[in-house]
Amino acid sequence: MPVTGTTRVFATLGHPVAHVRTPQKMNALFESREYDGVMVAVDAAPGADLAAVFAGFRAMANFGGTVVTVPHKTSVVALCDRVSRRAEMAGAANVVRRERDGSLTGDLLDGVGFVAGLTGAEETVAGRRVFLAGAGGAASAIAFALAEAGAAHLTVANRSREKAGELAGRLSEAFPVLSVAVGGEPDGHDIVVNGTSLGLREGDPLPVDAGRLSSGMLVAEVVMMPEETALLREAAKVGCRVHSGRHMLEGQLEAIFAFLTGVA
């Protein structure tokens, strides 16, 4: 559809944004639904630049909202006027909608998309032991969604053990029957998830010790580009089932569309 004066503008907000694929996916969805909208990538550094961009969002009457990616998912919560309960519990948001009065509403759909992606790949979460690398925005969303989906145990490992402990504490409070541990290694788990941005850049260290992976495990990514990360390559070598980050985006596209546009 042509971009005109009536076209509603949306964004994918991150830093950097060269790797993002959400605008392409959403613009194709707009086209298929005959929705008069366009999504562009917006690169804003953390701190004052991010706050200035949010002030601009509020002032743009034809702005519909933004998808939020690395490294802003936790920072944007404080810049919203309101957030959903799941965004509040996880302390992160990955979608923000501009309301007609210029106020901003945040929600967290990463976990919804991640679990939907697993389901679409015929993988089961209920009753499984999960090792999660990371405790940031995406990792927090995935942790709560895995708990909601019936995971039996969740180990949270993060470079900052304090941050991992905070996430584990929120999980235990929300899901008292869930077995939760902090730190450790991936062996002894059924599903291993990279919830960090490690793998996005060439030469990044692996988010987990590949020597602790074994056949029979499912190893899943949140990194979307490259689709085959170093972690997934190492996991495939030892016979693990691998699950790329694109499944998380594809699993939440419909939910993102509905949230940002208000069209079911």
**Integer angstrom CA distances of residue 152 from 86, 96, 126, 191, 217:** 20, 31, 7, 11, 15
Residue 39 and residue 31: Cα distance in Å, rounded? Answer: 11
Q: DSSP readout, the chain?
A: ----TTPEEEEEEESS-TT--HHHHHHHHHHHHT--EEEEEEE--TTHHHHHHHHHHHH-TTEEEEEE-TT-TTGGGGGSSEE-HHHHHHT--SEEEE-TTS-EEEE--HHHHHHHHHHHTT---TT-EEEEE--SHHHHHHHHHHHHTT-SEEEEE-SSHHHHHHHHHHHHHH-TTSEEEES--STT-SEEEE-SSTTSSTTPPPSS-GGG--TT-EEEE---SSSS-HHHHHHHHTT-EEE-THHHHHHHHHHHHHHHH---
The one catalytic residue among 25, 73, 163, 237: 73
CA distances from 18 to 132, 187, 229 (A): 26, 34, 17
73 an active-site residue?
A: yes
What is the Rg, in whole angstroms, of the alpha carbon atoms belonging to the chain?
18
**Active site residues per annotation:** 73
